[in-house]
Structure 1
Amino acid sequence: MKKILSYFLNSSAFIAARWNGSFAFRLLCRVKRTNIDKSPNKFLDQASSRVLQDGDYRATLYTLGSGDRPILLLHGWKSYSARWEQLINMLDLEKYTIYAIDAPAHGRSPGDSLNIEIYRRFMVQAIEDIGKLHAVIAHSLGGLVTAYAYLDNPQLAVDRFVITGAPAGMQSIYDFFKRVVGLNQKVIDNMNQHIAENVTKIPPLDITLARFFTAIDKPVLVIHDETDRVCPIGYIKDAIPQGKIHAYYTKGLGHDLQDETVYERTKQFLEDLA
């Protein structure tokens, strides 16, 4: 099936560029759902929740805690809000109020597709509902969404950011998609053109962590693992301006970064800059 799909896309790229770009984009955004009934999601049963809506898309926003320092948590691709259980359990919920989004087609939110613009809109909607945030803590795709949201609007009402295991930018996503599906460059070019004209608010190839790190004038902590095979660390080290961004590098945790040391460093960052 994969070979048929790649042949179909590669062949149509030169004769029906606009349709080809649109089709490739829909394929890129398709989500193969994980089992939301697994036990980790039971952690969310103690949270209050409400549904956010944007057109046909719906996201779930969870709330835990009662503190006066609101924090918004953004998960990555094919993940869910329950991934943050260890971090949330380490935070003082009388000091912080934790908000976490299950993006469309993830966790307990319905749907079968997600793109960076839709995720950005739900992030912005949550911030508008909550008010000024003490911090955004984001993992993987959530980190790139955060960078995109700030690049689109530097007045975003967030005091500080924690970016963990994030991809370099949209180009990294294109490269992964190209490799996995077996596409030629023309398909990627068509898809990028479609996204630029119909999806993102800024040129998609301008959505990079490097631009975010250069533009940001607020405290940022970057956490990344030396052995991350999903989002290799090299580009992160190259992208961080010397002396401007706080960086914490781990070894042996891989892409997920689920470890007490990671969350202790995150907690320290939140407290040091309180």
Structure 2
Amino acid sequence: MKLVLAKSIGFIINLLVYVSPKRAAFLAIRLFSKPRKGKHTEEATDFLNTAFQEEVFLKDRSIMTYRWPGKGETILLVHGWESNAFRWKSLIDSLKLKNFNIVAIDAPAHGKSTDKSFHIIDYAEYIHLVSRKFKTQTIISHSFGGLATICFQYKYRLPELKKIVLLGAPSNLKDVMKRYTKLMSYNSKVIKAINAFYLNQYGHLPEYYNVAKFTQDLNSSGLIIHDLTDPIVPYQDALDYKRHFTNAKVISTKNLDHSLKSREVEEHILEFVTNQIIIFS
């Protein structure tokens, strides 16, 4: 969303909140949770069709799962905002060579999954269902997928989940919302209405989801990879995790942007999940 357009829409919602706070909150949340990208390209479809595909249902909604069977431990791949399971293609190819049992998902409103909106707390519930279904031992997550992963594990504490990889993950929902409301120039009444939505929908305000603190008593070991110049999620978030996730290693990269797609990152991930040094030729 271009800055001028965002400010214009924010101005309209700022006026609407004086007439109907609930309607203003609905529109603000809808804008925040409706991805503009994330559907499959032809290349993505061809690749994902090499996997066993199965829907996992949460009430009347579903997400699509993709599975490449292997004899090793189960690894679940969790993507972030405006992406889909195809983002992991290169890593999937590497994990297949190690004979891992690989599962990837399309988040709500992304890829082949249903629903028209994406909410992090709902995403956490789907990750929980998929993790239980496939008896996941390791989760590799990117961006909002990392935040949702920690939310789910903090709530459900699955004992079989031994390792968690966080790539460019936000450390808390409050700052995510703060960056969004600043972008849109929402006034205090709109922000108050948004908070009321979260409290009504999920029983907590956004500030409750300080997920870096959620990690401090998790039994899982962690690998946190974050780029020093990440333009989407500040490097400060990685430092937040470092303070609380005592059983995790933090790796800083340079000039890899928010996507963190590189051989260097794959090498670190493979070393972590295989417990051995990996050197790409």
TM-score, scaled to structure 1: 0.90
Give the root-mean-square deviation of aligned CA atoms: 2.2
Aligned equivalent of 1:118: 122
Aligned partners of 1:92, 1:193: CA distance in 2, in Å?
45
Q: Which moved more, 1:18-27 or 1:221-230?
A: 18-27
After TM superposition, the structure 1 = structure 2 runs for residues 224-243 of structure 1, keeping only pairs within 5 Å, are 224-241=226-243
Aligned equivalent of 1:134: 137
SS in 1 for 2:109: coil
Q: Return the offset for 1:4.
A: 4.7
Aligned equivalent of 2:50: 46
Aligned equivalent of 2:210: 208
- Structure 1 unaligned residues grouped into runs of 5+: none
User: What code does the residue aligned with 2:150 have?
Assistant: A
Retained in 2: the 8 A contact 1:33–1:105? no
Q: Are residues 1:71 and 2:78 paired?
A: no
User: What code does the residue aligned with 1:264 have?
Assistant: E
Aligned partners of 2:199, 2:159: CA distance in 1, in Å?
22
- Structure 2 unaligned residues grouped into runs of 5+: 277-281
Deviations 1:222-274 (A, max 9, x none): 0111111000102321441385321111101010000111111111111229x
Aligned partners of 2:205, 2:72: CA distance in 1, in Å?
36
Retained in 1: the 8 A contact 2:154–2:215? no
Aligned partners of 2:206, 2:11: CA distance in 1, in Å?
25
Change (3 A) 1:257 1:45: same
SS in 1 for 2:267: helix
Aligned equivalent of 1:159: 162
Q: Are residues 1:255 and 2:252 paired?
A: no
Retained in 2: the 8 A contact 1:69–1:134? yes
Q: Return the offset for 1:154.
A: 2.7
SS in 2 for 1:91: helix
Aligned partners of 1:129, 1:225: CA distance in 2, in Å?
33
Deviations 1:70-116 (A, max 9, x none): 01110000001111111111124563100001012112224421111
SS in 2 for 1:104: coil
SS in 1 for 2:82: coil
Deviations 1:2-36 (A, max 9, x none): 45532232123355334432332222211213452
User: What code does the residue aligned with 1:145 have?
Assistant: A
Q: Are residues 1:269 and 2:275 paired?
A: no
Change (3 A) 1:160 1:263: same
Aligned equivalent of 2:183: 180
Aligned partners of 1:68, 1:75: CA distance in 2, in Å?
22
TM-score, scaled to structure 2: 0.88
Q: Return the offset for 1:194.
A: 1.1
Aligned partners of 2:49, 2:16: CA distance in 1, in Å?
47
Aligned partners of 2:77, 2:101: CA distance in 1, in Å?
11
Aligned partners of 1:56, 1:154: CA distance in 2, in Å?
25
User: What code does the residue aligned with 1:44 have?
Assistant: L
User: What code does the residue aligned with 1:84 have?
Assistant: W
Aligned equivalent of 1:16: 20
Structure 1 counterpart of 2:11, from 7, 12, 18: 7
The number of residues matched between the two structures is 271
Aligned equivalent of 2:279: none
Sequence identity percentage: 26
Q: Which moved more, 1:143-152 or 1:20-29?
A: 20-29
Bigger relative CO (Cα 8 Å, ≥ 6 apart) = 1
